[in-house]
Structure 1
Amino acid sequence: MLKGKNILLGVTGGIAVYKAADLVSKLRKQHANIDVIMTEGATKFVTPLTFQTMAENFVHTEMFGTVNHFDVEHISLAQKADAVLIAPATANTIGKIAGGICDNLLTTVVMATKAKVIFAPAMNTQMYNNSIVQENINKLKNLGYEFIKPGVGLLACGDYGEGKMAEPNDIVEYLINHFVEKDLLGKKIVVTAGPTIEPLDPVRYISNHSSGKMGYSIAKEAHARGADVVLISGPTVLDAPEGVEIVRVNTTEEMFNSVGEFFDTCDCLIKSAAPLDYKPENVSPIKIKKDDKENDELDIKFIRNPDIAAYYGNRKNKQIMVGFAAETNNIFEYASEKLKKKNFDFIVANDVTETGAGFQSDTNIVTIIDNNGNLEKYPIMSKKEVAKIILDRVSLLIKSKA
């Protein structure tokens, strides 16, 4: 994902340096080229040899060290970088850069580079929340520097709170997203995800097996590509994607109404949720109790829920609409029928009985059918990869309507 990208990693003096070594390993697995600058403080925690081994590159530590190449080191490093990542970023280094101080190789390179500079702060909670540190962070943000929000948890000092350096996997994902083409910049994408639930009484409800993973992957990818994303989510256990506006709903009617709030102003509606088609005609105000009779039965009458996709699909104007068809048989027949009935631009169909294509899976096996009858089958792949394919098509359709 990062093949051919030159990442300059600045490592500063904090206990989270051990995470930075793991970060280098993960970046190398994405085929990035890594140059490392360590401050003097960083070398007190981990030796330069560790990073040199992991990065497979010379590690730079001194402003006025031995000349290894006939060039001005801080300038050549600054010019080579496609992105500068400072992880961990201490309060000291953040403050120096905010104040324009260039008293070591890292701060000097930052002053000389035209590449995007990204900080992953790591420090004690009280330091992170200190008004001076926050003022420095806000100053740098206003100047176009970017920050990866630290995590919350037990810190090395024993305190509990905000200040843990973001996890290496999250930092790698942030970098990958940084280099993604912003082909949806300025576009508004609404994504529905997850199941809906319909109550039977104050204790029980009916639902389905949808996990929301597909919709959340689409929302993340759309945000990475520059879109203004609204994620309308039924109940899931997934974390809200960073940078995405999330609207949480329970019932199909709530999802229907929420889509209506954003539909007129959106460029694309992606209906990846699995809303329930039916709901109980009557919801008991008290818990339904079983009868002690041996042949006791419970009869519940169900009525139709609003059909979100059909309603908005037949009222669309400029909007692109993408549907999903999770089926167990007659996959292409049912998906094609749904495509026409609900006026989708294309539909993503899958057989949920296939291994690797079910609701709870991290992978999917899909076939995409467009409204011209064209059909394209895809092999098993991650839902993130499926999201990319879907949004590639959305991007092309939006451009064709511009």
Structure 2
Amino acid sequence: MDLQLKDRKIILGITGSIAAYKACTLCRMLVKQGAEVHVVMTSSACKLVAPATLEALSGHPVPVDIFEDAAKIGHIALAGNADLAVIAPASANTIAKMAAGLADNMLTAAVLACTCKTVVVPAMNTHMLHNQATAENLETLKRRGMLIMQPATGDLACGVNADGRMPEPAEILNYIIKILKSKAPLTGIDYVPQDLLPTPKRPAMLTQTKLLGKASGAGLKVVITAGPTVEDLDPVRFITNRSSGKMGFALSAAAKALGAQVVLIAGPVKLDTPEGITRIDVRSALEMLHAVEDNLKGCDVFIGCAAVADYRADHIETQKISKRDHSDGLTLKLVRNPDIVATVGKLENNRPFTVGFAAETENGEDHAKRKLRDKNLDLIALNYVQHHHIGFDSDQNELAVFDKDGIAARYGVQNKNVLAASLCDLIFERVKKGQA
């Protein structure tokens, strides 16, 4: 048996999340892969899982109390030469303490003393997860170089089906193996300061070498749609949605910075065009479809990030609709708009690598997987849009990316420029592998 973690020293921190019981399975899996596991628990975690259980599974003492367990203070010394620290599950309370730099228990003291990479696996109620305080705390940890593993979606202890679940131990194990075996950043580009991406005043040529020296998009033509579409009802009124276009524009900037030739097809938004990008402005879904079709020649990658209206008016009035003529109410007849990303995904000839987006409010993973399959996509990026601090018109977002085999990547709450750089790098690496 090939022991993937042979002789690796791993600190496993367990907090008072209801998912603490899963840490037992994770500990056992790590040990079976040859790792030397040292468990540190909070007092709240001990109320859910007995320290004796983890001592038996790891083969090492489990310290809890920073004063009573002084004899086990070797865990603090271990923090200086461990290969990896994994906080799984990480409660909102412990995440807040870590962001504040507190060291009021054995676990937070060990984390503060760590000189190795730290993986944080949040697990909590979905409303706690998406509270602005938690989001900002996770962003703080990420800026400090910690890796945040996105929570899974499913049934929570509170009885709702939403994100906030601790990923299964096998998934965490694979993530750990990938970290310790990889010499490059996990997500291609883990953190990209905003001032490294191209703007109208900052040419993309000056940014490429700063993106970790990567040029994974070199030689590729990329067509990206962004923003909303607008479906007119009359000369005054129209149907649209809340999309700001920020994610699509961030993707175009990142793709250009990674060396690609970029065509950006944008709905009505008030955003500046990044340097070196061909921008085509459209208004309606039909105009966007025609612009996409006109630019598919030689296209290697199509990213459908626009929030395209599902319906349009069957007839656009040439004059303003009068309230006096419809005093008892107004009935609108709407017809379906074409699905642009599905049109590209189902091309029989010269089909580009096709990526879609799924903006969902519930049962997101199921909907995203269905759309991936029904639209014949290579990848689909899921984002939940009901949370006020991410999604529409926000500078932050979080994504779960799926391929035909399941989850391809998870990116926690972070700046859209950072997400865009990571996602583009993932896409381009897959395209290059397919061309090899």
Do these two structures clear the TM 0.5 threshold for a shared fold by scoring above it?
A: yes
* Distance (Å, rounded) in 1 between the aligned partners of 2:419 and 2:389: 13
Q: Which moved more, 1:178-187 or 1:359-368?
A: 178-187
Q: Number of residues paired by the alignment?
A: 237
Matched, 1:192 2:214: no
Contact 2:252/2:277 (8 A) holds in 1: yes
Instruction: Look up the match of 2:39.
Output: none
Matched, 1:179 2:210: yes
Instruction: Look up the match of 2:294.
Output: 261
Give the deviation of 1:177 after TM superposition. 3.6
2:306 to 273, 286, 303: 273
* Distance (Å, rounded) in 1 between the aligned partners of 2:377 and 2:276: 27
Find the residue that maps to 2:332 and give its secondary structure.
coil
Instruction: Look up the match of 1:347.
Output: 380
Contact 1:356/1:380 (8 A) holds in 2: no
* Distance (Å, rounded) in 2 between the aligned partners of 1:375 and 1:204: 41
Instruction: Look up the match of 2:345.
Output: 313
* Distance (Å, rounded) in 1 between the aligned partners of 2:273 and 2:425: 23
**1:315 is matched by which residue type in structure 2?**
L
Alignment of 1:205-224 (within 5 A): 205-224=238-257
Find the residue that maps to 1:396 and give its secondary structure.
helix
Find the residue that maps to 1:265 and give its secondary structure.
coil
Q: Which of the pair has more CA radius of gyration?
A: 1
Output one character per residue of 1:13-62: Cα deviation in whole Å (capped at 9) or x when no partner: xxxxxxxxxxxxxxxxx9xxxxxxxxxxxxxxxxxxxxxxxxxxxxxxxx
Output one character per residue of 1:114-164: Cα deviation in whole Å (capped at 9) or x when no partner: xxxxxxxxxxxxxxxxxxxxxxxxxxxxxxxxxx99x9xxxxxxxxxxxxx
Matched, 1:235 2:258: no
Alignment of 1:290-301 (within 5 A): 290-291=323-324, 296-301=328-333
Alignment of 1:3-402 (within 5 A): 170=202, 175-180=206-211, 181-291=214-324, 296-315=328-347, 317-402=350-435
Give the deviation of 1:282 after TM superposition. 0.8
Give the deviation of 1:331 after TM superposition. 0.6
Contact 1:356/1:365 (8 A) holds in 2: no
Contact 2:217/2:425 (8 A) holds in 1: no
**1:334 is matched by which residue type in structure 2?**
H
Contact 1:197/1:205 (8 A) holds in 2: yes
Output one character per residue of 1:192-215: Cα deviation in whole Å (capped at 9) or x when no partner: 000000000111111000000000
* Distance (Å, rounded) in 2 between the aligned partners of 1:325 and 1:259: 19
Output one character per residue of 1:309-333: Cα deviation in whole Å (capped at 9) or x when no partner: 1111011545111110001111111
Find the residue that maps to 2:412 and give its secondary structure.
coil
Give the deviation of 1:247 after TM superposition. 0.5
Give the deviation of 1:176 after TM superposition. 3.8
Q: TM-score, normalised by structure 1?
A: 0.56
* Distance (Å, rounded) in 2 between the aligned partners of 1:178 and 1:374: 30
Contact 1:194/1:211 (8 A) holds in 2: yes
Contact 2:258/2:425 (8 A) holds in 1: no
* Distance (Å, rounded) in 2 between the aligned partners of 1:349 and 1:197: 23
* Distance (Å, rounded) in 2 between the aligned partners of 1:176 and 1:312: 30
* Distance (Å, rounded) in 1 between the aligned partners of 2:267 and 2:342: 19
Instruction: Look up the match of 2:103.
Output: none
Contact 1:325/1:349 (8 A) holds in 2: yes
Find the residue that maps to 2:319 and give its secondary structure.
coil
Give the deviation of 1:178 after TM superposition. 4.2
Q: TM-score, normalised by structure 2?
A: 0.51
Output one character per residue of 1:203-254: Cα deviation in whole Å (capped at 9) or x when no partner: 1111000000000000001111111100000000101111100000000000
Note the residue ranges of structure 1 that are not aligned, 5 or more in a row. 1-29, 31-147, 152-165
**1:308 is matched by which residue type in structure 2?**
I
**2:343 is matched by which residue type in structure 1?**
Y
* Distance (Å, rounded) in 2 between the aligned partners of 1:182 and 1:366: 23
Give the deviation of 1:175 after TM superposition. 4.5
Note the residue ranges of structure 2 that are not aligned, 5 or more in a row. 1-142, 144-197
Instruction: Look up the match of 1:136.
Output: none
* Distance (Å, rounded) in 2 between the aligned partners of 1:182 and 1:286: 52
Bigger relative contact order (CA 8 A; separation at least 6): 2
* Distance (Å, rounded) in 2 between the aligned partners of 1:279 and 1:215: 22
Percent identity over the alignment is: 39
**1:282 is matched by which residue type in structure 2?**
H
Contact 1:209/1:359 (8 A) holds in 2: yes
* Distance (Å, rounded) in 2 between the aligned partners of 1:306 and 1:374: 27
**1:343 is matched by which residue type in structure 2?**
N
Q: CA RMSD in A?
A: 2.4
Output one character per residue of 1:159-201: Cα deviation in whole Å (capped at 9) or x when no partner: xxxxxxx6xxx58x87444433222112100000000000001
Contact 1:233/1:246 (8 A) holds in 2: yes
